[in-house]
Structure 1
Amino acid sequence: MEFRRLTINDEKLFMEYFNAWGEEQESIVPSATNFKRYKSFQDFINNLEEREKSYEVLNTTLFLIVDGKIIGSSNIRHYLNEFLMNYGGHVGYGVRPDMRGQGYASKILNESLKFLKSLNLEKALITCDEENIASRKVILNNGGVQDQSHIREDGGVTNRFWIVIK
């Protein structure tokens, strides 16, 4: 198992992963991995690298690779702005549809928390839509303590959880 950044040499690996999202490609999580936003794989890799150096909120995108297949990914925000305090939190993660329900989301969140610890964060805000029961379970299984929810402009509810990073 690996949890790492992609390189230009990972194009075939990534394209298999992206195609596995099928009809869910437009709503792929994290959104930074939506390949349709980029002109080429090189542009995609360059964008992910740039996000770590010069971006409104510095962030790192890492991929969980098991047995030569990308299972899921995580976009880890190094700090929070007002928007992320209400909606996105420190970590946005997703698992390809054909690999869900096997514990990979918990592994991705756990590895993301380790990365945040390397940035000297003591706690992380993780959010999910109220109706996303699977994500709620993942957050709770990783030590999440629910904070006040945020009601979005569309009337939906974003649940907010804090996890103490150990």
Structure 2
Amino acid sequence: MVENVQLVKPTVNLRNEYLDFYQEWKDSGEDMVPWVISKDPSDFQGMVQFLLNNEKGENLPENWVPDSTFWLVTDNNRVVGAVNIRHGLSEKLFNCGGHVGYGIRPSERRKGYATKLLALALEKTKELGINKVLVVCDQSNLASERTIIKNGGKQDASFTEENGKVVKRFWIEN
């Protein structure tokens, strides 16, 4: 059963909880998803400011779209997941990134958090005026595919990256 959770914007107030989340993911050796959680948190205040600037569209690299990052936090402030919501789609995001990237820390998987995280993220996309949301996953990530389908995802054509990796693409009407 999923604990009571909510999405919160990155904040220095959750520094220790976030660092615990980050370190667990680093120790697992897995790819860090969404990409924003791979950002080095040693300058924690700077990292939080970077994320908040991205949301405002400030100091973005060329060809980047503004994005919002939220942490999935339990009632006792444990950071169990993160989501990055792109406010629009570049060609690359249309092919293999989507509007929403999300991840759950390794020790908290298979408990329903991903489904809840995506549902809460879809509320945020609606607030941003995104009515048709693209969510993608690697062809091999069956858990993510199930999560997307549980949240109303309808499969579209897959995209094959230059390295041969197949990305499954799903649209969710918001």
TM-score of the two chains, using structure 2 as the length reference: 0.90
d(CA) in 1 for partners of 2:71, 2:131: 23
1:135 corresponds in structure 2 to 144
Letter aligned with residue 117 of structure 1 = K
Q: Where does 1:3-152 land on structure 2 (aligned, <5 Å)? A: 3-24=7-28, 27-36=31-40, 39-54=42-57, 55=60, 56-66=64-74, 67-152=76-161
8 Å Cα contact 1:28-1:34 kept in structure 2: yes
Q: Report the number of matched residues.
A: 164
Question: What is the CA-CA distance between 1:120 and the residue it aligns to?
Answer: 1.3
Residue identity opposite 1:155 in structure 2: G
Q: What is the alpha-carbon root mean square deviation over aligned residues? A: 1.3
The residue type equivalent to 1:8 in the other structure is V
Q: Any conservation in 1 of the 2:104–2:113 contact (CA below 8 Å)?
A: yes
The CA distance in 2 between the partners of 1:68 and 1:11, in whole Å, is 10
Deviation at 1:26, TM superposition (A): 6.3
Structure 2 unpaired stretches of 5+: none
Query: What is the match of residue 163 of structure 1?
Result: 172
- For residues 8 and 29 of structure 2, the distance between their equivalents in structure 1, rounded to whole angstroms, comes to 21
Query: 2:77, 2:56 → 1: CA distance?
Result: 28
Shift of 1:25: 5.6
Cα deviations across residues 95-122 of structure 1 (Å, max 9, x unaligned)? 0000000110011111111000001111
Q: Which amino acid aligns with 1:5?
A: K
Distance in 2, Cα, partners of 1:101 & 1:144:
19
Task: State how far apart, in whole Å, the 2-side matches of 1:111 and 1:16 are.
Answer: 23
Q: Which runs of 5+ in 1 are unaligned?
A: none
Aligned sequence identity (%): 38
Distance 2:134 2:54 in 1: 20
